[in-house]
Structure 1
Amino acid sequence: MDTGGCADLKVNKMHGVGGSFNHDRHHSDRHRAVLAAPRSWPALGDSMVLGQVLEVFKSIPADCKEAQDILWTIFNPQNGTVFIAQNETIFNARNDSMVLEQVLEVLQSIPADCKEAQDILWTIFNPQNGTVFNAQNETIFNARNGSAALKEAASSLQRLAEEKSAATDSPKYISSQIMESNKGSSITLLQGDIKMQLFRSAVKCNQCIWPQSSSGTVTVPFVLDPEFSNSNKALIRAALQEFNTLTCVKFTDRTMEADYLSISSGNGCWSYIGKTGGAQYLSLDKTQCMSKGIIQHEIEHSLGFYHEHTRSDRDQYVDILWNNIAKDDWGSFEKKDSNTLGLPYDYKSVMHYDRKTLSNMPWQPSILPKPDPTVEIGQRYGLSNLDVAKVKKLYNCDLCSTLLSDKQGSFSAPKPPEKYKNREDCQWLIRLPSNKISLQFDDFDVQLTTDCSADFINVYDGDSTSSPVLLKKACGKLDLPPLLSSGSMMLVEFVSDGAGSASGFTASYRTAVPCDSTYTTDSGIITSPGYPQQYPNSIDCVMAILAPADYKISLSFTQFELEPFPECGNDYLIISDGSRSTSQPIGKYCGKMRVPKLVSTGNVLLLQFHSDIWVSNAGFKAEYSFVKSL
């Protein structure tokens, strides 16, 4: 269990003051032993209780592992032992005593001071009111009169289960990783990872920044320690590439330059502040500092930046909890007389400590954001868009560039209803923590010229213009299908000359699911996820078939069997004659409905498959081919 969470606390309040837990499987009051509750709840109807529980679920932070474990163990709609749709109960304990014992095991492990976990227990397991835990008929949540609320609860819990899985895979916060790596270092480091040559005030020091050429480019030569493996070197170069793509700071392999970064596999993760001259060492221990976020953090130091939480105006945005910090570490939280560059405070900066960095009590914060103390602070993955903006501001980069790092979002050029300006060149780098990216152009109107030689859009499957091309020199008014990346990064480039302008574009992106796909071969087979096995519950897929401009698409189904339901309200397949979900629908199908053979009117067909949380079936199989337009 994570020693940095609330799991190290001893259980002392969960069963009441002086209370105890009897885990004898043969105890006659097994079902009443969950809580010896000093509190009481009003008698509530099932649907109200469900609503109350949903409110609690919404408040659970992702980093409270114990609370997540409760949800995962008690409410797992996939295994059928907890959610029993046939009789509309949750936990039919008459036949599930073993499962109930498993739940009680989890309850025993909940630390008393993990408030979110305690709130779940108070709300779900209160044997005194008999509404939620009904010991008389051994059910939890008698949902005969609350099936709609039950379904809503199931959907919410399914999402939480997915978030739990994602949180489990998430790396630690960058600042905490750096502090762990540098613990016990013999090197004197300021703020945990800054090696000082002389004390200087970050961006207020004119000599600390790297020089800019007459063309506006800031070149930072570097060399890599031969001790790094090929994978280490590739990761370092990938971290530097985001600066190269989004700013005028260009990291290049050193040739004969006198001033350069010497990136070594030294002891810990640390850097000097700004340019020092000559061979400037930056340490990235190959066993402890090999993450993109840590590399970018130390690179930001080398460009002239201190930590975000030490900004001169930080007291407006965070409180430092000095009592939770060892006095030897107070220096890491002292404010610096630094230049804020007139840009907003950035809670998500790669340079911001997370809320528990250097806390002397692992379950207590060292920093709290304000006015909302629940705001997430710190980074797990890498640069924020404001980090990019600050580099551009400090180094006077005249670039139109944006980093998009949310799991979903939208962007446009220009902002509607304006038309884009002449000679505009912009880039959007989409970076997700993991998984693939699905990009949809909702509107596309770029000046049409021969060979798209004037204004155009390129989309690259990666973080630079040297990455593989997903969309090449597109212009005019287009109806494009979703574009899928092969990895977690995608670059969109918009170029216009001075000849004319148009409305531009709007686009949206999201984390792609494994079953999202685009078919571009002249014939093929499309199936539901998992076919020929039954398709999974709780899934949404977008499948696009894209033919050349002068072709249509013929589609015929050889098998079709989804869950039957009035108006196809549960599981369904929507087929649209176009590239978007708003395109003309050909039909919505479910059950064993006969899907007629289809021929598109254009060169794109879109299939949207949805399954709910309850029943699955055999699924579908279809064959398609391209047909020359007459």
Structure 2
Amino acid sequence: MPSLHIRPGILQKVRQLSMKPTLLSGHHLDNQRFSDDVRLYMSSLFKQDAAAFEEVTSRELSVSELLERANRDRTPDFDEPTLIGGDIAIRSEADRNADPCTSTGCLWQKWSDGKVYMPYYITNHFSSREQAIIIRGLESFSSVSCIRFRPYQNGDHEWLSIESRSGCYSFVGRQGGGQTVSLSRQGCLYHSTVQHELLHALGFNHEQTRSDRDSYIKVYWENIIDDMVYNFNKIDTLNQGTPYDYNSVMQYERYAFSKNNYPTMVPIPNSNVSFGQATQMSKNDIDRLNRLYQC
């Protein structure tokens, strides 16, 4: 990662803040109010820089390529969950072929004000720049849905524990207690991957596992890495009456899990349709989210 340099104009802005009349108490600088203003200003810069940084570094890669690259050579610790579908965490082998959202229910609680408040805790694994990327992803839901991610508070019984573990992964839907969302510092800190993993936590599976997918994509089983075939099993998914979406941030790209550089998925009937290239939630992703939680 490039070293962080102070951008032109920052020092000038800080000097301007120090000269603001509201910061003065008599003839002396009010240090507390000054430091508060500077902290708020620097925080906004971190968010701007984080967005620009991850946009540049992920410009050539789709979310599925980022996820595959980050998880390809992961070496999980003994206490980490099994992964299926590339980045979906499961607690036991019994969950491998079941969608927990349709078998047991997995929605987060909706409150009387119509909002879904989801506590989160970001561990101290991350730098300020990396935290800003995560927070940007969390905040992106509030402008398009009733989902409100908020910091963990004492007394919360269910929350997302956002950690840098081995690779990018999340459980599907509410699990109870603290549940890990792994965003490894080595390859997972992009806006698209943050949104992707949060959608898993909200209850969504990958687009290519939809129950109606055979009407929209053809799977070339012979091109799939042998021990990754199960990642293409269909699930009795909750499609919320929305169409199959080639532009979903949950759709993997056509070479996902290929063992021979040939496509593992091709759209039908038009094989030339672009798909699996999303860099953020699509309109259909947002529509499904709002329908699932009745926003």
> Which category of TM-score, normalised to the shorter sequence, fits these structures?
0.7 to 0.9
Q: CA deviation at 1:281?
A: 0.6
Distance 1:168 1:232, change over 3 A: closer
Amino acid at match of 1:387: D
Q: Indicate the residue corresponding to 1:374 in structure 2.
A: 272
Match of 1:283 among 163, 167, 182: 182
1:178 equivalenced with 2:67 (yes/no): yes
Q: Indicate the residue corresponding to 2:11 in structure 1.
A: none
Match of 1:302 among 184, 201, 205: 201
Partners in 1 of 2:276 and 2:188 — Cα distance? Answer: 17
Match of 1:193 among 87, 93, 98: 87
Partners in 2 of 1:298 and 1:272 — Cα distance? Answer: 8
Q: Indicate the residue corresponding to 2:34 in structure 1.
A: none
Amino acid at match of 2:175: T
Q: Indicate the residue corresponding to 1:341 in structure 2.
A: 240
SS at match of 1:389: helix
Q: Indicate the residue corresponding to 1:261 in structure 2.
A: 160
SS at match of 2:201: helix
Q: Indicate the residue corresponding to 1:451 in structure 2.
A: none
1:225 equivalenced with 2:123 (yes/no): yes
Partners in 2 of 1:310 and 1:253 — Cα distance? Answer: 32
Aligned length: 231
Q: Indicate the residue corresponding to 1:352 in structure 2.
A: 251
Question: Deviation string for 1:105-163 (max 9, x for gaps)?
Answer: xxxxxxxxxxxxxxxxxxxxxxxxxxxxxxxxxxxxxxxxxxxxxxxxxxxxxxxxxxx
Structure-to-structure mapping, 1:2-401, within 5 angstroms: 170-187=59-76, 188-197=82-91, 199=95, 200-205=98-103, 207-256=105-154, 257-362=156-261, 364-397=262-295
Q: CA deviation at 1:169?
A: 7.8
Q: Is the 8 A contact 2:168 2:182 kept in 1?
A: yes
Question: Deviation string for 1:526-558 (max 9, x for gaps)?
Answer: xxxxxxxxxxxxxxxxxxxxxxxxxxxxxxxxx
Q: Is the 8 A contact 1:171 1:380 kept in 2?
A: no
Q: Is the 8 A contact 2:70 2:186 kept in 1?
A: no
Q: Indicate the residue corresponding to 2:9 in structure 1.
A: none
Q: Indicate the residue corresponding to 1:36 in structure 2.
A: none
Runs of 4+ aligned structure 1 residues displaced above 2 Å come to 167-171, 184-188
Q: CA deviation at 1:168?
A: 11
Q: Is the 8 A contact 1:202 1:305 kept in 2?
A: no
Q: CA deviation at 1:341?
A: 1.2
Amino acid at match of 1:336: I
Q: Is the 8 A contact 1:181 1:288 kept in 2?
A: yes
Alpha-carbon RMSD: 1.9
Partners in 2 of 1:353 and 1:344 — Cα distance? Answer: 16
Q: Indicate the residue corresponding to 1:471 in structure 2.
A: none
Q: Indicate the residue corresponding to 2:43 in structure 1.
A: none
Q: Is the 8 A contact 1:182 1:193 kept in 2?
A: yes
Q: CA deviation at 1:215?
A: 1.5
Q: CA deviation at 1:179?
A: 1.5
Q: Which has the higher contact order (CA 8 A, sep 6+)?
A: 2
SS at match of 2:69: helix
SS at match of 2:257: coil
Partners in 1 of 2:60 and 2:278 — Cα distance? Answer: 6
SS at match of 2:205: coil
Q: Is the 8 A contact 2:101 2:172 kept in 1?
A: no
Distance 1:330 1:169, change over 3 A: closer
SS at match of 2:105: helix
Amino acid at match of 1:170: R
Partners in 2 of 1:249 and 1:228 — Cα distance? Answer: 24
Q: Is the 8 A contact 2:248 2:278 kept in 1?
A: no
Partners in 2 of 1:180 and 1:297 — Cα distance? Answer: 15
Question: Deviation string for 1:559-616 (max 9, x for gaps)?
Answer: xxxxxxxxxxxxxxxxxxxxxxxxxxxxxxxxxxxxxxxxxxxxxxxxxxxxxxxxxx
Give the unaligned 5+ runs of structure 1: 1-166, 398-630
Q: CA deviation at 1:206?
A: 5.2
Structure with more helix by fraction: 2
Amino acid at match of 1:323: E
Q: CA deviation at 1:342?
A: 1.0
Structure-to-structure mapping, 1:476-491, within 5 angstroms: none
Distance 1:241 1:180, change over 3 A: same
Partners in 2 of 1:179 and 1:354 — Cα distance? Answer: 10
Q: Identical aligned pairs, as a percentage?
A: 35
Structure with more strand by fraction: 1
Larger radius of gyration: 1
Give the unaligned 5+ runs of structure 2: 1-55, 77-81
Amino acid at match of 2:212: D
Partners in 1 of 2:196 and 2:286 — Cα distance? Answer: 12
Q: Is the 8 A contact 2:253 2:277 kept in 1?
A: yes
Distance 1:178 1:259, change over 3 A: same
Amino acid at match of 2:263: P
Q: Is the 8 A contact 1:176 1:358 kept in 2?
A: no
